Amino acid sequence: MSLYRTNMLAALLVLLLNSGLKAQVRQGSYTDYHVHLQDSATVQLGFSMLKAFGQAPTKTDSLILNADTLIERLNRAKFNKAWILSNAYWYGSPFTPVENEYEEVKKQNDWTAAQAARYADRLAAFMSVNPLKPYALKEIERCADSKHFTGLKLHFANSKVNLFDKAHVSQLQKVFALANENRLVLFIHFRNAQDWNGKTNAEIFVKHLAAFAKETKIVIAHLGGWGNYDKPTDEALKVMVTYMHKNGAGGNNLYFDLSAVLPANANEGRQPAEGKGSWNAAAALPKRIGQIGLDHILFGTDWPLIDIDPYTRLLESALGTPIVREILRNTVPVDAGK
Ligand SMILES: [Zn+2]
């Protein structure tokens, strides 16, 4: 073989390898498991919601965020996929009553499905509903039949779910069972109050709810809390971890998402919330994550709350890069939808 040909072949090989690597990097394989989009109706309702909570809107609250915006953002961070959680439950929130409520709920779920369908190999849609509404089961059934949804998102705080109310628990059992029957992944924002007993709430969850959705996956958002990592959140997690690892009791279908666990403005010097006394969030968080098992922890940003790269950096500073890399590699096998 002449030197010229050898050089040519070597150059070709380098080129091929480079393009292969580039394609790999460009595509990525990571998933953001907690994302919200917003159309103009949600932007408007969002303003009412913020007003009801006495909060001032930020610039992001007025932006329309659709599938294109999300895909651009995933590409920039070299992520491949995202789970889009519908905001339909806002329309059933007791905090912001709307006219033609159920029509608006349906519209919002359908819009979310349509956005995900535009990039069907990369985006998965989660429907949502206030589980206490009379139309809740009907809407879950409708969405499940459409086969456009991977899961169902519930927000216990926004829907004013109270696990100490037996009627709420019995309604939730029906919702869990229906999600289970249709193999919809249940994605739950669990914490519902500022003054919140994490231990007792989690005990009700493992004793009276979890068993109704054994054949599907349950993802607990924000590690069970609602932003930051404080002692009530840690106490709720402790109960759930015990349930997960009790032999034969089920619980292997439980997953936890890391979104909002570290405050979005921690880069500006804010530390994770500290509990009273000697309890230390920075020490408790990695310990609890280790007990859960890294394979059941999912990376999520709760975007537009924060973007992928800054949140990854925050997590790396709290948990260390190797652990975050391992968490990023996790995938959840799902049955429903696409
Ligand atoms: Zn969220």
Which region among 63-72, 129-138, 262-271 has the lowest average model confidence (pLDDT)? Answer: 262-271
Going by C-beta distance under 8 Å and a sequence separation of 6 or more, which residues neighbour residue 7?
A: none
Q: Is 90 exceeded by the pLDDT of residue 185? A: yes
- Specify burial of residue 210 (Cβ count, 10 A radius: 0-12, 13-18, 19+): buried
* Distance from the alpha carbon of residue 36 to the mean position of ligand 1, in angstroms: 6
Q: Is 80 exceeded by the pLDDT of residue 40? A: yes
* Distance from the alpha carbon of residue 80 to the mean position of ligand 1, in angstroms: 19
Residue-level pLDDT at 203? 98
Instruction: For residues 14-19, give the mean pLDDT.
Output: 51
Instruction: For residues 220-242, give the mean pLDDT.
Output: 94
Instruction: For residues 100-109, give the mean pLDDT.
Output: 98
* Distance from the alpha carbon of residue 114 to the mean position of ligand 1, in angstroms: 19
Q: Is 189 helix (H, G, I), strand (E, B) or coil?
A: strand
* Distance from the alpha carbon of residue 84 to the mean position of ligand 1, in angstroms: 9
* Distance from the alpha carbon of residue 278 to the mean position of ligand 1, in angstroms: 30
* Distance from the alpha carbon of residue 6 to the mean position of ligand 1, in angstroms: 56
* Distance from the alpha carbon of residue 314 to the mean position of ligand 1, in angstroms: 18
**Cα–Cα distance measured from residue 273 to residue 201, given in angstroms and rounded to the nearest whole number:** 20
Ramachandran angles phi, psi of 60, nearest 5°? -60, -30
What strands lie across the sheet with 81-85, from one edge to the other?
Answer: 31-35, 81-85, 123-128, 151-155, 185-189, 218-220, 254-257, 297-298
* Distance from the alpha carbon of residue 241 to the mean position of ligand 1, in angstroms: 22
Residue-level pLDDT at 4? 54
Between 283 and 134, the more confident residue is 134
Number of domains, the chain: 1
* Distance from the alpha carbon of residue 172 to the mean position of ligand 1, in angstroms: 20
Query: Domain for residue 281, yes or no?
Result: yes
Between 203 and 248, the more confident residue is 203
* Distance from the alpha carbon of residue 75 to the mean position of ligand 1, in angstroms: 21
Query: Domain for residue 142, yes or no?
Result: yes
- Give the dihedral of Cα atoms 233, 238, 240, 244; nearest 10 deg: 150
**Cα–Cα distance measured from residue 194 to residue 58, given in angstroms and rounded to the nearest whole number:** 22
* Distance from the alpha carbon of residue 219 to the mean position of ligand 1, in angstroms: 12
Q: Over the stretch 41-60, which tens digit does the pLDDT of each residue have?
A: 999 999 999 999 999 999 99
* Distance from the alpha carbon of residue 275 to the mean position of ligand 1, in angstroms: 24
Query: Domain for residue 337, yes or no?
Result: no
Distance of CA 152 to the CA centre of its chain: 11
* Distance from the alpha carbon of residue 269 to the mean position of ligand 1, in angstroms: 23
Query: Domain for residue 305, yes or no?
Result: yes
Give residue 13's pLDDT band: very low, low, confident or very high (50, 70, 90). Answer: low
Q: Over the stretch 165-177, which tens digit does the pLDDT of each residue have?
A: 999 999 999 999 9
Place of tokens 């609250």: 61
Residue-level pLDDT at 280? 84
Nearest CA to 108 among 126, 95, 94? 126
* Distance from the alpha carbon of residue 301 to the mean position of ligand 1, in angstroms: 8
Q: Over the stretch 286-338, which tens digit does the pLDDT of each residue have?
A: 999 999 999 999 999 999 999 999 999 999 999 999 999 999 999 988 875 54
* Distance from the alpha carbon of residue 35 to the mean position of ligand 1, in angstroms: 6
Which region among 50-59, 212-221, 257-266 has the lowest average model confidence (pLDDT)? Answer: 257-266
Place of tokens 């020490």: 283
Residue 132, both tokens: 């206490």
Query: Domain for residue 160, yes or no?
Result: yes
Give residue 12's pLDDT band: very low, low, confident or very high (50, 70, 90). Answer: low
Percent of the chain beyond pLDDT 90?
78
Burial 20-50 (b: 16+ CB within 10 A, else e): eeeeeeeeeebbbbbbbbbbebbbebbeebe
Nearest CA to 81 among 124, 24, 40? 124
Going by C-beta distance under 8 Å and a sequence separation of 6 or more, which residues neighbour residue 74?
A: 28, 32, 80, 81, 82, 122, 308
* Distance from the alpha carbon of residue 304 to the mean position of ligand 1, in angstroms: 9
* Distance from the alpha carbon of residue 177 to the mean position of ligand 1, in angstroms: 23
Instruction: For residues 120-147, give the mean pLDDT.
Output: 98
* Distance from the alpha carbon of residue 82 to the mean position of ligand 1, in angstroms: 13
Query: Domain for residue 7, yes or no?
Result: no
Query: Domain for residue 79, yes or no?
Result: yes
Q: Is 83 helix (H, G, I), strand (E, B) or coil?
A: strand
**Segment 54-60 long-range contacts (CB within 8 Å, at least 24 positions apart):** 60/304
* Distance from the alpha carbon of residue 27 to the mean position of ligand 1, in angstroms: 25
Residue-level pLDDT at 267? 44
Alpha helices in the chain (DSSP H): 3-27, 40-52, 67-76, 101-117, 136-146, 166-181, 198-204, 231-245, 281-292, 308-319, 321-328
Residue-level pLDDT at 178? 98
Residue-level pLDDT at 216? 95
Give residue 28's pLDDT band: very low, low, confident or very high (50, 70, 90). Answer: confident
* Residue 140: other Cβ atoms inside 10 A: 24
* Distance from the alpha carbon of residue 142 to the mean position of ligand 1, in angstroms: 23
Query: Domain for residue 164, yes or no?
Result: yes
* Distance from the alpha carbon of residue 26 to the mean position of ligand 1, in angstroms: 26
* Distance from the alpha carbon of residue 335 to the mean position of ligand 1, in angstroms: 22
What integer best gives the mean pLDDT of the chain?
89
* Distance from the alpha carbon of residue 302 to the mean position of ligand 1, in angstroms: 5
Q: Assign residue 215 the CATH number of its domain.
A: 3.20.20.140
Instruction: For residues 142-166, give the mean pLDDT.
Output: 97
Domain of residue 58, residue span: 28-328
